[in-house]
A and B are shown apart, each in its own frame.
Chain A
Amino acid sequence: MHNKTLSEISSGLRNGDFSSEEITRHFLNRINQLDPQFNSFIAVTEEQAIQQARQADKMISAGETQALLGVPFAHKDIFCTEGVLTTSGSKMLENFISPYDSTVAANLKRAGAVNLGKTNMDEFAMGSSNETSFFGPVKNPWDVTRVPGGSSGGSAAAVAARLAPAATATDTGGSIRQPASLCGVTGLKPTYGRISRWGMIAFASSLDQAGPITQTAEDAALMLNSMAGFDPKDSTSVDQPVPDYRANLNDSLKGLTIGLPKEYFASGLDPKLENIIQEAISEYQRLGATVKEVSLPNSSLSVPVYYVIAPAECSTNLSRFDGVRYGYRCAEPINLEDMYTRTRSEGFGDEVKRRILIGTYVLSSGFYDAYYIQAQKTRRLIQQDFVNAFEQVDVLMAPTSPSPAFKFDEKTADPLTMYLEDIYTIGVNLAGLPGISIPAGQLDGLPVGLQIIGNYFSESKLLNVAHQYQQVTGWHKAQPID
């Protein structure tokens, strides 16, 4: 039953093949049984899930037909969920029961989807391996000695291990696409502003964007239909109608122009991994697409730009964690300064603290122009590169990450090697574009993702392009365990 896609579960529920309670219990059992080896969940909301499932069953028998009604899924623990533990992977929020719902949580609730629990993640989404979580690292279901990627490693691992048919996630520099790639699942990062950020615990406000992690592009379309939409509570939410993202899945790819950014295929990319990507592109050519080389000349600057802007924004986004109104407070503070300093030093993990320091540095007087303003200017150059590219091609294709899943601790010693993990994904966040990672092959038994990048608000096109590939290949069906 757990091998079914979200879409299959959806139609199974409506056909009366099984009830929401049955399938929900099935996944809950599976989580209880298998997750101890993966650690992909921080909290399992068993009681609420069964309640929601029963409610959904009533509605289904009353003839309601919403696509996600009664369908189980999991939330990345970055989304505030009313009455449910919401930690953002941090000791700072170890006991935080959110008094409100994020818009994403509210939207999925309204759609009738059943929340199984909250998935593990890098602390405050800062990491590419899930090793910074206060709740311990998530293990890659393909090889538990390896990382699942991050920061949405829990969501990706849960979907890969079929502990949930779908999960929400967020992507600031690659945090949906990279773990999707490393775990062999489909991960969509929509256009900035497509999904509301209300109630999504902020990492870097101008980069953060929510999206789904699923088995297939079709499932991603189904999730996006409910997650997306204008939200008056988020000033950066874009007021554009939400199409039915499934409507164009079956469009032909004849005449599609694919751009290959030459900088993404340059030295540093494992030739064996490159072969897998090239093979996927050949598949697209067989589907009728043409291929063209393009250039993103400033792409080598995207990682340094990111490591100015993201820490700058996070350093102040995280100032609210001061032990006054919620969350962790140190024991017996002797005075106010002691409370601040110890609360924050004890409540935040090492990587979070480092990023706060870097952010504080690049914003401090005397350095602001040289770092922050210079990074913002370079960010525009990077965006302009993409705009120019999309004048010539419909989509861009590239690897999602430079290597498959790596071993624990392999990249923790030097922060830079970890930061370079996101070298192909960060540009998309800086420009605010949508991108999707789909399974496209395996290297030494580990999944490899193909990244497809689209123009602003071209999610339908991206999903169509991904779906067509999944009609003629089976990589997305490969699973690490039964």
Chain B
Amino acid sequence: MSIDSKEIEKLADLARLKFDQEQLGEVTDRIASVLDFIDQLHQTETQAIEPMAHPMDAVQRLRADKVTESNQREKYQQVAPATENGLYLVPKVIE
């Protein structure tokens, strides 16, 4: 087994997901089988190969430094779960 449920819980924590004990076993099994499958990547010799991040070796285009956006707060906040005085509200953040 390439991964255990402890590690899955750690990953879930990073991704802000939670599984109850029942789900955890199944998730772990499924992910383990995918990871085993992915492991065949390690058979290939790739030392001299440049990693490919994009399908085309294109270059970033640059945008002119101009303000093109206007205030749309009311419109954009219509879809927000909770706002007040133009602010998005979340449960209190403690630093």
Contact with B along A197-215 (1 / 0, CB 8 A): 0000000001100000000
Asked if A340 is at the interface (CB within 8 A of a chain B CB), the reply is yes
A370 close to chain B: CB less than 8 A: yes
Complex interface: chain A residues within 8 A of B72 (CB)? 99
Contact (A376, B52) CB under 8 Å given A238-B58, A357-B31: yes
CB A228 to nearest CB in B, in angstroms, measures: 16
Which of A207, A373, A378 contacts B44 (CB under 8 A)?
A378
Please report the C-alpha to C-alpha distance between residue A431 and residue B52 in the assembled complex, in whole angstroms.
Answer: 10
Kindly state the separation between the CA atoms of A380 and B31 in the bound complex, as whole angstroms.
25
Inter-chain CB contacts under 8 Å: number: 168
B30 lies within 8 A of A354 (CB): yes
Within 8 A of A (CB), among B10-58: 11-12, 14-19, 27, 30-31, 33-35, 37-42, 44, 46, 49-56, 58
Q: Which of A344, A419, A429 has the most CB of B within 10 A?
A: A344
Interface string of A132-149 (1 = CB under 8 A from B): 000000000000000000
Minimum Cβ distance to chain A for residue B39 (Å): 8
- B30 proximity list for chain A (CB < 8 A): 354, 415
Known: A307-B38, A357-B15, A371-B38. A383 touches B91 (CB 8 A): no
Q: Is the beta-carbon distance between A374 and B41 smaller than 8 angstroms?
A: yes
Q: Which A residues between 295 and 311 are near B, CB-CB below 8 angstroms?
A: 298, 301, 303-305, 307-308
- Provide the residues of chain A in CB contact with B63, threshold 8 Å: 232
Instruction: Tell me if B8 and A357 are in contact (CB < 8 A).
Output: yes
Q: Which residues of B contact A236 (CB under 8 A)?
A: 54, 58
Give the shortest distance, in Å, between A469 (CB) and chain B (any CB): 27
The interface residues of chain B, by DSSP majority, are classed as: loop
Instruction: Given A192-B55, A238-B56, A456-B56, check contact A356 B34 (CB 8 Å).
Output: no
* Pair A304/B55 contact, Cβ less than 8 Å: no
Interface of chain A residues 357 through 416 with chain B (CB within 8 A) = 357-358, 360-362, 364, 370-371, 373-381, 383, 414-416
Nearest A residue to B39, CB-CB: A304
B16 touches A301 (CB 8 A): no
Counting CB contacts under 8 A, is A432 at the interface? yes
Q: How far is the CA of A17 from the CA of B76 in the complex (A)?
A: 43
For B12, the chain A residues whose CB sits under 8 A away are 357
Given the known inter-chain contacts A373-B51, A381-B49, please indicate yes or no for A324 contacting B35, CB distance below 8 A: no
Assembly CA distance A207 to B82 (angstroms):
34
With both beta carbons as reference points, the residue of chain B lying nearest to A342 in the complex is identified as B18
Flag if B79 contacts A345 (CB, 8 Å): no
Contacts of B46 in A (CB 8 A): 374, 377-378, 381
Knowing that A380-B49, A419-B34, A456-B56 are A-B contacts, what are 12 other residue pairs whose CB atoms are under 8 Å apart, sorted by A's residue number? Answer: A99-B75, A232-B61, A235-B60, A325-B79, A326-B79, A341-B17, A345-B17, A353-B17, A356-B17, A371-B38, A371-B41, A377-B51
Question: Which B residues are closer than 8 A to A by beta carbons?
Answer: 3, 7-8, 11-12, 14-19, 27, 30-31, 33-35, 37-42, 44, 46, 49-56, 58, 60-61, 63, 72, 75-76, 78-82, 88, 90-94
Q: List 11 A-B contacts (CB under 8 A).
A: A99-B78, A298-B44, A301-B44, A308-B38, A319-B15, A345-B18, A354-B34, A361-B35, A373-B51, A377-B52, A381-B49
